[in-house]
A and B are shown apart, each in its own frame.
Chain A
Amino acid sequence: MYVAVKGGEKAIENAHRLLEESISDPEIKPVEEDQIKLQFPYAIDRIMAEGSLYDKDIASKAFKKAQGDIVEAVFLVRAFRNTIKKLGYTRPLDTEKIDIKRRISAVYKDIPGGQILGKTFDYTHRLIDFEDSEISDKKTDYFEQNDEIQKTFPRVTEFLKNESLLFTDPYKNNNPKDITNQSLEFPVSRDMRLQAAARGDEGFLLSLAYSYQRGFGADSHPFAAEIRTGDVDIKIIPDELGFEITIGKIEVTEVVMVDSFKGTNEKPPQFASGYGLSFGKNERKAMSMAIIDRAMRFDEFCEENKYPSQNHEFVISHCDNVEASGFVSHLKLPHYVDFQSELLSLKRLRQKHENKFFHQDTNEVKSNV
C-alpha cells in the first residue's frame, strides 16, 4: 500500500548539513575572511555592488557562506541589508575630490592630472600560473616620488561641456526616488534606471552593452571619456549639527561614455553621454552601466527604441539577479498539481485530435506519433 511521502523536514536538514560537511576537510584549513578580503577583492566588490551594501566584512562572510557562488552571496547581502536600520541619505558623492587609484581617458592622449594606469588586469598576458608566485613585501608606489599627488581631478567631460559639445541633461533631479522603498512603475525615470543598473547583474548588463555596441542600438562608436577609481568621502548632515560632516570613505569606480549625436532641427549636434558608478574597482560593470544608460536615453536624442538594450522595461525588469535567479530556480519547486492539470487537458485535446483524424479517413487511423 502506498504511504504518502513524509519527512520533508528531515531531508532539508540533511541537505543543509551535507552542504557544510562537503567543504570541510581535516587536512585543509578553512579560508579566513581576512584572506578573502585581501586576495579576492573583485569578488568582494561585485558582491557589495550588487548586494547594494558597502561592507567588506559582510561581503566576505557572504562569499564564504555561499561557498563562492557570487549570486548566492549577493542574495545573502540583500537579505541582510533589509534587516538593518536606515539612518538617512548621504550627500551626493563628490567624485572630483578623490584619492585617485586609477584614471584613464580614451578620448584624449593626455589630460590634466595625467593618465594613471593604476591597478589593472589590462595588458597582462592571460596565462595561468602553474608555479606559486613569491609573496613580496615590496610595495609599488602609485606615483613617482617627485609628483605632487592631486586631490582633485576635474572631469574630462567638463572640457566638452565648456565647448558646448556635451549634451547636458536638462532634467536636474534634486529629489531622486529611492528604488528600495518605491514600487517600480513604468515609464521609469533616469534616477530609478541608474539605481536599478547599479545593483543589477554584471553579466546581464555586460551582454546588453555588448549588443548595443555591436549595433543593436548604437548608431556609432561609443568612447570612454573617463574612467576613474578611488576613494571618496561620505558626507552627511546630521539634524543635531545642521552642517556637513565626513563620516568615512568608500572606493568607487565612475565611468562616463560619450558618443556622437548628429543633431535634429531643434537640437544641435553634440556628444550624448551615459553614466556608470559602481562600488569598488569594477570597471566592467561601471562601463556596461554607462553604455546601457546611454542606450536608454534614446528619447532624449530622438532615436528609435528598437532593441532590448534601449527598452527600459526590458532592461530594468530583468537586471536584478536576485529576482532572476529566484524565479528561474523556483522551477525546481514541485509543480505537479499544475502539471496534472495540464496533463488532463492535453489528454482531452489529444483524444479530440485523434477522433478528428479517425473520422476523416475511415480506412486508416492517422496518428502523429
Chain B
Amino acid sequence: MEPIIEVKNISKNYGNIKALENVSFSIWPGEILGIVGESGSGKSTLIKCLSGETSCCEGEIVFYKDNEQIYFSMLDEGRMHLLRKKDIKVVYQNPQDGLRMKFSAGANIAEPLLSLGSREYSELRDKALYWMDRLEIGQSRTDHIPENFSGGMRQRLQIARSLVSNPKILLMDEPTSGLDLSVQARLLDVIGKLVKEINLTVVIVTHDLGVARILADRLIVMKSGKIAEHGLTDQILDDPGHEYTQLLVSSVLRA
C-alpha cells in the first residue's frame, strides 16, 4: 500500500530558530495520526508545512493522489492553492481563523463548493443542510451565523466546511483546545464516527494525551523540532521508550 503523504527529511528555520529538523514519516490512508508534544516542539510548524501554508527550507513532502506523485516543492502558488481548496484541508485551533463569522453556517459550508465552481443554489443548500445534520449542529441553525454559536458548534462547523469538498486528508490543529471536557468528548466522538464512515485520513496535532489516546491510531512525539518517538498510540502511551515521552506521559498522570 502507498502512503497518502510522505514527509522526507524536512527542516524549517525561522531565522536562527530550528522549528523543524530532519523530520521524516509517512501518513497512511484512512488512519488517524496524532502529533503530540509541548508548545515549541514544532507541531504547528509541521501542520503548516503539511498543508502547504509554509514551504520547507529543506526536504520534500510528497502527496500521493490517484496514482500521481505531487511534490510540494515543485508546485507553484496557483496549484498549491488548488490542492488546498480541494484535497488538503485544515481545521484551525481557533474556529474564527477557519470560518466567516458574519456569514451564515450554510454559506460557510457552501463556500468551498462555490470556490470549486458549483453554481446550483438548491444543490448547495441541500449539501449545507446535510452537513449541519451530520456534524450534529442542527439544520435549523443553517441560516444562523457562527458568531452566535458555542465553541464546540463553531468547531463542528469548521469541520463541516472542511469536509464538504471531499478532501483526501484533514489536518487538525488543537481542535479541542478551549472546549469543556464534555464538549470535547462530543467533538471527538463525531470525528471518530465520521472518519470511519467516509474513510478519511486525519492528522491531529494536540498537546492533550487524552485526546490522542481516544482518537489516534498512531502517534508521533515531537520535541524541539525533532521526532522523539513514534509508534502505535497504546504502545507509546503505555510503554514510552524515549525519556522525553516518559516525562510527557508521567506528567499527565501526576496531574
B15 at interface by CB-CB < 8 Å: yes
Q: Is residue A146 contacting chain B, with contact meaning CB distance below 8 A? A: no
Docked pose: A266 CA to B13 CA in angstroms: 12
In the complex, which residues of chain B have a beta carbon less than 8 angstroms from the beta carbon of A264?
15
Residues of chain B with a CB closer than 8 A to A265's CB? 15-17
Mark B1-16 against chain A: 1 for CB-CB distance below 8 A, else 0.
0000000000000011
| Contact code string A245-283 (vs B, CB < 8 Å = 1, else 0) | 000000000000000000011100000000000000000
CB distance from B35 to the nearest CB of A (A): 24
Q: How far is the CB of B13 from chain A (nearest CB, A)?
A: 11
Complex: chain B residue closest to A267, CB-CB? B15
For A, the interface residue count at a CB cutoff of 8 angstroms equals: 3
Contacts of B15 in A (CB 8 A): 264-266
Residues in B whose Cβ lies below 8 Å from that of A266: 15-17
Q: What residues of A have a CB within 8 angstroms of the CB of B17 in the complex? A: 265-266
For the complex formed, measure the closest distance between the CB of A268 and the CB atoms of chain B, giving whole angstroms: 12
| Closest chain B residue, CB of each to CB of A265 | B16
Residue of A whose beta carbon sits closest to that of B15: A266
A129–B16 Cα gap in the complex (Å)? 63
Mark interface residues in A283-326 (1 if CB within 8 Å of B CB, else 0).
Answer: 00000000000000000000000000000000000000000000
CA distance A348 to B15 in the complex (A): 58
Q: From residue A212, how far is it (CB to closest CB) to chain B in Å?
A: 25
Q: Which residues of A contact B16 (CB under 8 A)?
A: 265-266
Distance A345 CA – B78 CA, assembled complex (angstroms): 38
Cα–Cα, bound, A266→B14 (Å) = 10
C-alpha spacing A67/B78, complex, angstroms: 54
Q: In the complex, which residue of chain A has the Cβ closest to the Cβ of B16?
A: A266
Q: Which residues of B, 172-212, contact A by the 8 Å Cβ criterion? A: none
| Bound: A217/B15 CA distance, A | 24
A264 to B15, CA, bound (A): 10
Chain B nearest CB, measured from A299 CB (Å):
13
A265 to B14, CA, bound (A): 11
Measured between alpha carbons, how far is A24 from B15 in the docked complex, in Å?
Answer: 67
Question: A264 to B16, alpha carbons, bound, how many Å?
Answer: 10
A302 nearest CB neighbor, chain B only: B15
Q: Within residues 1 to 41 of chain B, which ones have a CB less than 8 A from any CB in chain A? A: 15-17
- Bits for B42-84, please: 1 = Cβ < 8 Å to A, else 0: 0000000000000000000000000000000000000000000
The chain A residue sitting closest to B17, CB to CB, is A265
Minimum Cβ distance to chain B for residue A227 (Å): 34
Chain B nearest CB: distance from A266 CB in Å? 4
In the complex, what distance in Å separates the CA atom of A363 from the CA atom of B59? 72
Bound Cα distance from A265 to B19, whole angstroms? 13
Q: How far is the CA of A265 from the CA of B15 in the complex (A)?
A: 9
Q: CA of A264 to CA of B17 in the docked complex: distance in angstroms?
A: 11
A105-129, CB under 8 A of B: which get 1 and which 0? 0000000000000000000000000
Chain A's nearest CB lies how many Å from the CB of B213? Answer: 34
Alpha-carbon gap, A266 to B17, bound state (A):
8
Report the minimum CB–CB distance from B174 to chain A (whole Å): 20
Q: How far is the CA of A266 from the CA of B16 in the complex (A)?
A: 6
Q: How far is the CB of A267 from chain B (nearest CB, A)?
A: 8
Q: Say how far B215's CB is from chain A's closest CB, in angstroms.
A: 32
Q: Restricting to A318-349, which residues have a CB under 8 Å from any CB of B? A: none
A11 to chain B, nearest CB (A): 44
Q: Mark A2-13, 1 if CB is under 8 A from B, else 0.
A: 000000000000
Measured in the bound complex, the distance between the Cα atoms of B15 and A266 in whole Å is: 7
Bound-state CA distance A264–B14 (Å) is: 12
Query: A265 to B16, alpha carbons, bound, how many Å?
Result: 7
Give B86 Cβ to nearest chain A Cβ, in Å: 28
User: From residue B16, how far is it (CB to closest CB) to chain A in Å?
Assistant: 5
For the complex, give the distance between the alpha carbons of A143 and B17 in Å: 55
**CB proximity of A304 to chain B, nearest CB, Å:** 15
How distant is the Cα of A265 from the Cα of B17 in the complex, in angstroms? 8
A187 smallest CB distance to B (angstroms): 15
Point out residues on A near B: beta carbons under 8 Å.
264-266
**Residues of chain B at the chain A interface (Cβ within 8 Å):** 15-17
Q: List 7 A-B contacts (CB under 8 A).
A: A264-B15, A265-B15, A265-B16, A265-B17, A266-B15, A266-B16, A266-B17
Q: Which 3 pairs from chain A and chain B are nearest by CB?
A: A266-B15, A266-B16, A265-B16
